[in-house]
Chains A and B, each alone.
Chain A
Amino acid sequence: MAEEFASIHLEDYYAKFIEQDVRPDGRELGEFRACSLSVGNLHPTADSSATVRWGNTMIVSGVKLELGKPTDENPEEGFIVINVEMTPLCESRFKPGPPSAFQQSVGQYIEEILINSGCIDLHQLCIKSGKLSWCIYCDIMCLNWDGNFIDACNVALISCLSRLKIPQLIIDEESDKPQINDDIPLRSLEIGLFPISSTFAVFNDSVVIADPNLHEESLTNSTVTITVNIEGTICGLRKNGGSSIKSDQLNVCLEKAVNRARELTQLIEQL
């Protein structure tokens, strides 16, 4: 009975729950879903990999190290290239073919979160100035979309990068070919404080809920993504139009985001 009502009048169904300060999946309005993380699933194909289960949302990410030539503008820097895949497998709204505007902007934003936080200094990826540098290719694939893609993706990406090990290279003087120096142990990629994002949705023009799932995302046209690190520094703030949010509501979201950053940073570091 409840399912039929939900499928016909999703808004009214949700409104009845929100009045009682709770949501259909049992969470409170400001509660995030549990996040579970496992690493090294794609070993040895990927140099570093992670799988994130965020409620029902499932994301797999893999990182590969390749060699490349640095650009002329930044000869001392390497590259990080992030590619985000959303296929019809995870949700029927995505059609096969070139990415839609929505997919592009989500992929672009995941990359921006990482760059904005400045947690990875690209100079450490340089092998020979102007000639050779490491290029980190990150592929993130969504297996099941149940809302809040950005936060889950971000956790998967950071877990992968924090576990990436870079080998030391010797460049053969005569043939100019790089070779891996097996004697020196692999060094880890140096990352500063992790940027952790938290997404909130504005429901019914007045109520702010944390971590919207798929149904909740379809009911709202406005989400706020706040990226903070464990120190409480805001690395990113994005709200894409839709219903407006009051400044004090945004402040509450900021506090929640900082707490969430602490939880997730601990989770990523523990494994």
Chain B
Amino acid sequence: VAHYCSTVQVGIFTKHINMDIDEDTDNCANILPQILCEFGVITKNDGSCSYKQRSTTVISAVHGPYDIEHSKQKNDKSVIDVTVSSNDGNLHSSKTKLIEEIIKSSAESSLMLYVYSRTGISLSLQVLSNNGSLLSALINSVTLALIDSGLSMNYMLSAVSCAVLEDSLIVYPTVHEEESATATVMLCFDSVNFDIVSCYSTGKLNVNSYEQVLKLSLRAARQLVKYFRHLIEKKSASARPISSKR
């Protein structure tokens, strides 16, 4: 079942506007781009999600908790393994390693690993199309796949990419916007306190721009979490037995 985000407005704000962050995000204009999301696309796995954000599409699948060899087990937590397959066939680039490590450590903090000690959990991500904001799309799809799998979590992750251009900030930029930006920042927040779980920046930005990026990303993250909750409610309302065919 596919769910569409309610508006398609893309947020572009100039640096001169003073943005006040309201706790109640209903008063703020929706700044999320169009997001399409489908749970359970891969039936053989424990949890999966197909996530499309603007035109970046990612499929993520969760398998676990499963048995791993004794030498690799950890007594007090589960061992997470992340594999990201790119759409351009580039399997072993060091950039992929960097992305995998960020996703792995973000997922480790959001899962209650101590519940699944001495097991392994594997996250497989496949990039179907990359039109910018890839890292945030990957982290968001991982969160949704983990929710689909029913693993115990401390919080959801909401990742927002932001590009800083000369006179504006763009949320979830496309590849073209990223290339013409002076800096891009990916911030990943937890869904409880909205503290920063992970972040990654490229390019250069001054402290003022960083403050504005932080404010804008917080806004987008709150709206994203609201949207995730809406998706989960719909999913549980239309709960189907495990063995049914699609």
Hey, which bits of chain A sit against chain B, CB under 8 A? 101-102, 104-105, 107-109, 112, 116-118, 221-222, 224, 232-247, 250, 254
Q: In the complex, what residues of B have CB within 8 A of residue A105's CB?
A: 94, 97-98, 101
Instruction: Give the Cβ gap from B185 to chain A, nearest Cβ, in Å.
Output: 7
Are the CB atoms of B204 and A104 closer together than 8 Å? no
Q: How far is the CA of A40 from the CA of B68 in the complex (A)?
A: 49
- Beyond A105-B98, A108-B94, A241-B109, is A250–B207 a contact (Cβ under 8 Å)? no
Are the CB atoms of A246 and B195 closer together than 8 Å? yes
Are the CB atoms of B198 and A239 closer together than 8 Å? yes
Are the CB atoms of A221 and B206 closer together than 8 Å? no
Are the CB atoms of A242 and B108 closer together than 8 Å? yes
Q: In the complex, what residues of B have CB within 8 A of residue A109's CB?
A: 98
Hey, which bits of chain B sit against chain A, CB under 8 A? 94-95, 97-98, 100-102, 104-109, 183, 185, 188-190, 193, 195-207, 210, 214, 218
Are the CB atoms of B206 and A234 closer together than 8 Å? yes
Q: How far is the CA of A77 from the CA of B195 in the complex (A)?
A: 41
Extra contacts besides A233-B206, A241-B188, A244-B197 (13): CB < 8 Å: A105-B101, A108-B95, A109-B98, A116-B204, A221-B105, A221-B108, A232-B207, A235-B204, A239-B197, A240-B106, A241-B105, A242-B108, A247-B218
Q: In the complex, what residues of A have CB within 8 A of residue B206's CB?
A: 232-234
Q: How far is the CA of A250 from the CA of B188 in the complex (A)?
A: 14
Q: How far is the CA of A235 from the CA of B200 in the complex (A)?
A: 11
- Beyond A222-B109, A254-B207, is A245–B101 a contact (Cβ under 8 Å)? no
Q: How far is the CA of A143 from the CA of B12 in the complex (A)?
A: 49
Are the CB atoms of B204 and A242 closer together than 8 Å? no
Are the CB atoms of A117 and B109 closer together than 8 Å? no
Instruction: Give the Cβ gap from B96 to chain A, nearest Cβ, in Å.
Output: 10
Q: For the complex of A and B, list the 4 residue pairs with the smallest distance between their C-beta atoms, beginning with the closest.
A: A241-B105, A244-B195, A241-B106, A237-B201
Which among A222, A236, A247 is the interface contact of B214 at CB below 8 angstroms? A247
- Beyond A241-B105, A244-B193, is A236–B98 a contact (Cβ under 8 Å)? no
Are the CB atoms of A108 and B97 closer together than 8 Å? yes
Are the CB atoms of A242 and B109 closer together than 8 Å? yes
Majority secondary structure, A binding face:
mixed
Are the CB atoms of A245 and B195 closer together than 8 Å? yes
Q: How far is the CA of A243 from the CA of B195 in the complex (A)?
A: 9
21 A-B pairs whose Cβ atoms sit less than 8 Å apart in the complex:
A101-B100, A105-B98, A118-B204, A221-B108, A224-B199, A232-B207, A233-B206, A234-B205, A234-B207, A234-B210, A236-B201, A237-B199, A238-B201, A240-B101, A241-B102, A241-B106, A241-B107, A241-B109, A242-B108, A244-B196, A244-B197
| A108, A118, A243, most chain B CB atoms within 10 A | A108
Chain A residue with Cβ nearest B107: A241
Q: How far is the CA of A30 from the CA of B82 in the complex (A)?
A: 34
Q: How far is the CA of A233 from the CA of B183 in the complex (A)?
A: 11
Q: How far is the CA of A162 from the CA of B206 in the complex (A)?
A: 24
Instruction: Give the Cβ gap from A136 to chain B, nearest Cβ, in Å.
Output: 19
Q: How far is the CA of A220 from the CA of B195 in the complex (A)?
A: 17
- Beyond A108-B94, A109-B98, is A234–B201 a contact (Cβ under 8 Å)? yes
Are the CB atoms of B204 and A247 closer together than 8 Å? no
Instruction: Give the Cβ gap from B121 to chain A, nearest Cβ, in Å.
Output: 14
- Beyond A241-B105, A241-B106, is A116–B195 a contact (Cβ under 8 Å)? no
Q: How far is the CA of A120 from the CA of B216 in the complex (A)?
A: 31
